Structure 1
Amino acid sequence: MANNDILQLGKLMCSVTRECLWRPAEQWVQERSPGSFLYCRVGSGQATYHRYDSRDRQHLITYGARMIAAKHQPDTASGWLSGREIRQRGYFSGELSTLNLLAHTCCHEFAHLLQQSAGQRFRGSVHNRHFYTILDELHESGAAHATREALADQARNQGVPLPDTPFEPMDTVQHLMHWQVGDTVCFGTGRRELQGQIIRVNRKTCTVDGIGSSRGVRYRVPVQMLSRPGQR
C-alpha cells in the first residue's frame, strides 16, 4: 500500500475519533477535568497509544503509520491486541478485516481516554476490567459502529483504499516455531524497514536488538511482522 494512502487513512482515523467518539463524550470529560482537549496525530512508526498530560490537560492519541500498514495483511494483523479483542469479545461479529481493525483501534485508544478521565487507569494495570467495561460500552452503544461507518464513508469519498473483506488470523504458535535467539530479521515496510537480531522469543512477540542504522535500539515485534532479510 502506498505511503500516501497509509498517511491519509491515519488522518481519517483522527477525524472519526474526534467526530464520532470525542464530540459525544466531550462534555462528560470536561466535567471531570475542565479545559481538557483532544489532539490526534499520525506517527511515523508502529507505536499507537493514548497519553494524557496533566499540565496542559491534553489527551494525545497517536496512530502509527506502520501499525496501519500492518493491519492490511493477515500475517501481520493478527498479532495486534485489537485483533484478539475483536475475536475474543465478538466486536464487529468477531470478523477481522482492515476496516474493522482500524475502526476498533480508534475505539481502543479512545477507551483509554475515557478510562483516564474516570480515574481508572493505574500504573501496572492499564487493560483492566474498568478499561474493558468502557470498551464494551463503546461497542454496545453503537459508537463503534458509527466510527466504522464514518471511516468507511470518508475513505470511499476520498478514494482511499480501505478493504472490508474478512480474513482468517494467522497461527501465532506456528510463526514462533520459525524463530530462535540469534536469528537476523527484518520488519517494517518500504523505507521504514528495519533489521535486527532476535535476543528473546516471547509468547506472542520477539525482542529484537537493532542492527545497522537501528543499532542501539531495542524493539518488541509481533511475530507475524518478522521476515528474513531478502524474503520480502
Structure 2
Amino acid sequence: MTIEPAIAHRLGQIMCDTTSMILWSPAQSWVRQQAPATTLLCRVGSGQATYHRFDPHLKQHQITYGKRMIMSKHQPDAVSGWLSGREIRQRKYFDGEVTTLNLLAHTCCHEFAHLLQHVSGKRYRGSVHNRHFYLILDELHSSGGADAARRHLAEQAESAGMAIPDVPILAPDTRQLMAKWSVGDAVGFGAGKRQLEGRIVRVNRKTCTVEGTGPSRGLRYRVPVQLLNRV
C-alpha cells in the first residue's frame, strides 16, 4: 500500500500529538525535576530521517518524524529495513506482531525513549541503542504507555479519515533476499544524514560485507541484508 505525501504529513502530525499527549504529559513533571523548564517540540520532517535531539540553549527536546519514513512503513516490502520492525519481532512488543499501526506507534515510543534516556544521562557517544535505552523502551511497553499511544494514534487517524493498516506484515525470507545481491553490487544503507554507500565485497549467510565509497571510502561494514537498497 502506498500513501500520498500529504497524508503521510498529516499522520506525522498525529504522531506528534500522540507523543505530546500520551507519552510526554505523564513524564513532564519528572523530566522537569531533572532539568527545570525543559520543553518538547515535535515536528514532521520532509525526508526519511526520524530522530530525537536536545537543544541545550533552548532547553528543548526535539523529535522529528520523517514523512518518507511514514510512507515507507505503509509498504510491506520496505518494512524489513527498519529497526522498529526488528525490535517489535525480537522483543515481542505488541505480541511480536508487525503492522503499519504497530510500527508507527512503536516509532513514537522509540524516539520518546531516547528523550528519557538523555534526561537520565544514559546516552553516550557511540552507545545510543544501549542496555539503558532498551530498559526504558521495555518499560514503555510493559507499563501500558505503548498500548495507549497505539490506541490514540489509531483513533485520531480514523477520526481524520486516514485509518492506519493493522494487517500483519510477514517477516521476509532471508534466503530470497540474499539471492538478490552479488559481489560488486552498488548499495546504500542507513537513513537521512546517516545514509551510506558502498560496494558489496562479500555475501555472507545473513549479511553482506560492504566496502564504503565516497565519504565512507576506506571503511567496511557488515550490513544485514534487510537494510540494503540498490543505488
Q: TM-score, normalised by structure 2?
A: 0.81
Would you say 1:199 and 2:199 are equivalent positions?
yes
Residue 69 of structure 1 corresponds to 71
Mapped contact 1:42–1:64 kept (Cα < 8 A): yes
Residue 123 of structure 2 corresponds to 121
Q: Summarize the Cα distance change of 1:13–1:223 in structure 2 as closer, same or farther, 3 Å threshold.
A: farther
Amino acid of the structure 1 residue aligned with 2:49: A
Residue 190 of structure 1 corresponds to none
Aligned residues between the structures: 214
Q: Distance in 1 between matches of 2:21 and 2:64?
A: 16
Shift of 1:182: 4.7
Task: Point out where structure 2 has 5 or more consecutive residues left out of the alignment.
Answer: 190-195
Amino acid of the structure 2 residue aligned with 1:153: E
Q: Aligned to 1:178, what secondary structure does the other structure show? A: coil
- Cα distance per residue 1:172-226 (max 9 Å; x no partner): 4532431245546799xxxxxxxx97534793797887xxxxxx788x9985576
Residue 102 (structure 2) aligned to one of 100, 103, 116:
100
How many percent of aligned residue pairs carry the same amino acid? 57
Q: Which runs of structure 2 are paired with 1:32-181 in the superposition (5 Å)?
A: 32-172=34-174, 174-180=176-182
Q: Summarize the Cα distance change of 1:185–1:155 in structure 2 as closer, same or farther, 3 Å threshold.
A: same
- Aligned CA-pair RMSD: 2.8
Q: Aligned to 1:56, what secondary structure does the other structure show? A: coil
Residue 193 of structure 2 corresponds to none
Task: Point out where structure 1 has 5 or more consecutive residues left out of the alignment.
Answer: 188-195, 210-215
Q: Aligned to 2:52, what secondary structure does the other structure show? A: strand
Q: Aligned to 1:67, what secondary structure does the other structure show? A: helix
Q: Summarize the Cα distance change of 1:52–1:5 in structure 2 as closer, same or farther, 3 Å threshold.
A: same
Q: Aligned to 2:113, what secondary structure does the other structure show? A: helix
Q: Aligned to 1:85, what secondary structure does the other structure show? A: helix
Q: Aligned to 1:126, what secondary structure does the other structure show? A: coil
Q: TM-score, normalised by structure 1?
A: 0.81
Amino acid of the structure 1 residue aligned with 2:110: H
Residue 27 of structure 1 corresponds to 29
Q: Which runs of 4+ in 1 moved over 2 A?
A: 171-174, 179-187, 196-209, 220-229
